[in-house]
Every structure is written in structure tokens, then in C-alpha cells.
Amino acid sequence: MKETPSGTAAPRKASRSITVFALAALSLSLVAACADEPETPPVTADCVVKQPDGSYKAVDDKLCDNPGGAQSAVGFWPVWIYGGSYDSRTHRVTGGSKFRPLNTNINARSGRVITSGFGSSAKGGGGS
């Protein structure tokens, strides 16, 4: 180690420089990785109840917010269907999945935001 004119050891700058450089490189690579991810289109969700014939009828989104209280009102437990096709004539939903997709925005058909990216939840206004 080099000595200063007063005879004390000079502070080591090399390890501090390497640490700062490593943190900067790591930050840049993280930003680049996030920027390279393609934008995932939002998924539309429908609150539905299963009908006696096995089909799923769309109901008010609020029923899925409080499924315990909704059971007696509609006769069946309401559930969310993600990515299904809605028929406005019959108010039935076909296809889709009961499994909530990860890392994507989910919007109710009414326009209300159910989740916003990376699993964070949000409840916004929206008409039905």
C-alpha cells in the first residue's frame, strides 16, 4: 500500500470503484431486461354463475367481490372467468379459464380494473 506524506496508509479506492461499477452494470442490465419484455395485452374477466344446463351466465361484477353473500341472491356461487368469449345476446360466457393469469392487467368486462400488472390489485370505477 502507498503511504501518504504524513506516513499513514492511503485509502483504497479500487474496491470502491469496482463496487460502484458493478452496481451500475447490474442496474442497467435489470432495466434492459424489463424493457425487452413484450407488452402483454390485458385479459378480460367476466363474473359468472354456472347454470343448470352447464353454461356460464354473466352476472354483475359485484357478486364476485362478495361471493358468500351472493350465493343466496343468484342460487349458485359466482366465479371469475378469465379470457372467455361473451355473447351479448344470451349473456353467456364460453371458453376462458377459472385460473387468474399472472403478470398481466385484468379488466372486468364492465371496464373496472381488477388487477394491474405483476399481481398488484386495484379497484377502479366503472359502469356495468
Average pLDDT for the chain: 74
Who wins on pLDDT, 41 or 23?
41
Confidence of residue 14 (pLDDT cuts 50, 70, 90): low
Nearest-angstrom CA–CA distance, 106 and 23: 34
Write out pLDDT tens, residues 76-111: 788 899 999 999 999 999 999 999 888 888 999 888
Q: Over the stretch 54-74, which tens digit does the pLDDT of each residue have? A: 899 999 888 887 756 555 555
Residue 18 has pLDDT above 80, yes or no: no
- C-alpha distances (whole Å) from 30 to each of 25, 40, 57, 105, 120 are 9, 19, 44, 22, 20
Band (pLDDT 50/70/90 cuts) for residue 113 is confident
